[in-house]
Structures are given as C-alpha cells and as structure tokens.
Amino acid sequence: MDMTANEASFPDLREGVRRLCAQFPGSYWQELDRDRRYPSEFVSTLASEGWLSVLIPEEFGGSGLGLSAAAAVLEEVHRSGCNGGAAHAQMYTMGTLLRHGSPGQKAKYLPSIASGDLRLQAFGVTEPTSGTDTTRIRTFARRDGDHYLVNGQKIWISRAEHSDLMVLLVRTTPREECAKPSDGISVLLVDMREAVGNGLTIRPIRTMLNHATTELFFDDLKVPAENMIGEEGKGFRYILSGMNAERILIAAECIGDARFFIDRASAYAKERSVFGRPIGQNQGIQFPIARAYVQMTAAAKMVDHAALLYDTGKQPGTEANMAKMLASEASWFAADMCVQIHGGFGFAEEYDIERKFRETRLYQVAPISTNLILSHVATHVLGLPKSF
C-alpha cells in the first residue's frame, strides 16, 4: 500500500515505535485484557526509551519536539496493535505543568517524568454531577495554612492506580460567587503516593475496556499549597490547551486504529478463499475497505492540520474537536468493516480484531462525545443559538 503524506512524516520516529511495539504482540494484550491487568511492561518500555517525553523540552531531558511528532508516535502505537490509552496522558497532562508551572515545579518534576521514573498519568476533571460541563465541578479545595484541604469526588479517571502524580481540577471559590462560571477553578498537583489512604480513596470501575478506570473520593486530603499550578482561580484556562492536545493525540490514535483495521481487512481479503477465489476479488469486499481508506485519509489530513496549528502557537479548539470527530468516525467505520469482512472470525479472540473493535468504540464518547463537538461547531462556528 502506498504511503499517504501523513505516514511519510517522521519516518525514523515511526520505525522506532514499530520496533518497540513488535515486542508486545496481540497475545500480550489479549492476556492483559482477559485478566484486566495494566500493561506495566509496555508503558515502562515506552517511557524508558523516551517516547512519552517527546513534548518535554531538551533542558528537562525530553526530545523537545512538537505535537505532530507526538501524534505520529501514538498513531504508530495503535497501528501496531498496541494501546496508547495506557500511557498517552503522560504526554498531554504534563503540558499544564510545562506551560503554567513555576520554575521550581518544572525543575522538580519534569526531568523525572521525561526519564520515566515518575508517572504523571492521572487527570482528575470529570465528576458524577458535572460531566462535560467542567464549570460545574464541586470538588472543593479550601486553603488551610500552608495546605489545601480537598473534598469531593471524581469519576472516569483512568490510570489513577498506576500514576505517581495527578493533575487535579478543583474549585477554590464557589461558582455562585464568581463573575464568570469558569472563574474560581484551580489546578493542584497531587502526589498519589502520599494521598492514597490519607484522604484519597480509589475505587476501580469495571468497564468493557481494560483502561484501569476509577472513581476517586476526597475526604480532607491535604495538598501542599506549593503544589498549586499557576494562580488560584485561573485553572480553567490552564487546562484548555491541554484538552486541545488531548483531542488531537487521541485523534491520531484513531487514525492508527483505522490503519490497523484496514491492514488486517486487506490482508484477510487477499488470503481468504471462497468458491475457489480470494474474497478480495469481489467488489462487495473491495468497496468497504476502499471507503474506509478514503475516510481515514481525509481524517488524517484534519489531524495533521490541527496539530500544525497547535505547534505554531494557535488555539485550535474547533480544529482539534473536528479532528477528533472525523478520526473517531473513520476508525469506527474501519472497525465495523473489518469485523464484517472477517465474518465469524472477527469475533474470535485469536484474530485480535474484537479487542481493538471494543477499544476504538470508546472514542465516539471520550474524551468528548460527537454530539458535543457538533454543538460546539454549531454555536461557536456557525453562530447558531445555544440549545441549553
């Protein structure tokens, strides 16, 4: 298959990721999926070889590359059949620390994050009663001398049990006392090694995906005031750029998933013979694969565009959302197509299609649902009246 322009970017980087992923074949992921275990070996290898520190500046031990390079890393991880969801937060979550942390905070944490000695995987935002309306979070941090006391609850927080640090979004001023709903929100850096059992309780949530998803309960958790990132009350805008990066990187993962499914479907269509000829000779098989490739290629262009805007200092909120929507829909179409072409074998664990099928379905919902993206475009781009 000829390479698209997207595939041709960062060739050495992509080849390095493919070599690493070859050490973790489908059987590795199937065993983890069966037992609901975290891929510690994969994440440790990814981190120790520097793939998770692509965005960290060289002065702190990283590669100092842009989001386009990070997107290429995660795309290849997913095309290889691995799952970047176990580790991708380390890329975008540390951006809040990098952009808004104090010099002391950066010097203390970034080198260890870059080396893989310190895991910053948890991002505490979503709550049971707020969902995507982040301004309505209720988890509250009250200043008490040289500490904050945190009380509240978070849900759908992935990797909390496998992270040393967590970027936590809290209210420090009640919403009703703020001039704007987005005011009064702050960001704390929580040391999970000290917090668990000392005011923080983690409860795993079993889902259809092996994503180490949890619910968090805060009961007078003490967090040093020096762990406040940036200014108190300004945290909402600090995380917006990180959310754009998150959506672009997850869109890149979806492109990788789509390529995985197209690769698998194409190979199977050439090998599988029915009525004395390969099934790929039939246009009823050819056309869905070709359509998946067309949709994936178009979505990849949007991902590249959004990443370029981000790397050149823009705030590509709309482009990041559209990239995530197009890429997730392309990956889901490709996943459905691949299962259909494999027939019953698509449901068999040994073919490793059904695992990826489940994994890529998530991105119709997270980190932001398709309907909310459409609402954003309708009201922010097209000027249509808000429906709520």
Q: What is the mean pLDDT of residues 359-381?
A: 93
Q: Which long-range contacts (CB under 8 A, 24 or more apart) does 318-321 make?
A: 318/376, 318/377, 318/380, 318/381, 320/243, 320/244, 320/245, 320/247, 320/248, 320/251, 321/247, 321/368, 321/373, 321/376, 321/377
CB-based contact 264:338 (threshold 8 Å): yes
What are the domain boundaries of the chain? 5-115, 120-233, 237-381
Give the span between the Cα atoms of 21 and 18, in whole angstroms.
Answer: 5
Give the span between the Cα atoms of 183 and 173, in whole angstroms.
Answer: 8
Strand partners, 325: none
Q: What is the mean pLDDT of residues 7-16?
A: 90
Query: Angle at CA 361, nearest 5°, toward 359 and 366?
Result: 95
198-222: pLDDT as tens digits? 999 999 998 888 778 999 999 999 9
Using 50, 70 and 90 to split pLDDT, how confident is the model at 386? confident
CB-based contact 241:315 (threshold 8 Å): yes
CB-based contact 325:269 (threshold 8 Å): no
State the pLDDT at residue 209: 80
Which numeric CATH code is attached to 5-115?
1.10.540.10
DSSP string computed for 332-386: HHHHHHHHHHHGGGGGSGGGTHHHHHHHHHGGGTSSS-HHHHHHHIIIIIS-PPP
Q: Architecture of 237-381 per CATH?
A: Up-down Bundle (1.20)
Give the span between the Cα atoms of 165 and 75, in whole angstroms.
Answer: 25
Is 88 exposed, middle or buried, given 0-12, 13-18 or 19+ CB atoms closer than 10 A?
buried
Using 50, 70 and 90 to split pLDDT, how confident is the model at 43? very high
State the pLDDT at residue 388: 60
248-270: pLDDT as tens digits? 999 999 999 999 999 999 999 99
**Residue 247 in this model has a pLDDT that exceeds 70:** yes
CB-based contact 249:88 (threshold 8 Å): yes
Instruction: Report the top-level CATH class of 120-233.
Output: mainly beta
The one-letter amino acid at 205? I
The one-letter amino acid at 22? A
Query: Angle at CA 27, nearest 5°, toward 21 and 31?
Result: 115
Strand partners, 120: 165
**Residue 116 in this model has a pLDDT that exceeds 70:** yes
Q: Are strands 165-171 and 200-204 parallel, antiparallel or unpaired?
A: unpaired
275-300: pLDDT as tens digits? 999 999 999 999 999 999 999 999 99
CB-based contact 288:340 (threshold 8 Å): yes
Q: Which residue in 165, 202, 156 sits closest to 187, CA to CA? A: 165
Using 50, 70 and 90 to split pLDDT, how confident is the model at 241? confident
Summary mean pLDDT of the chain: 94
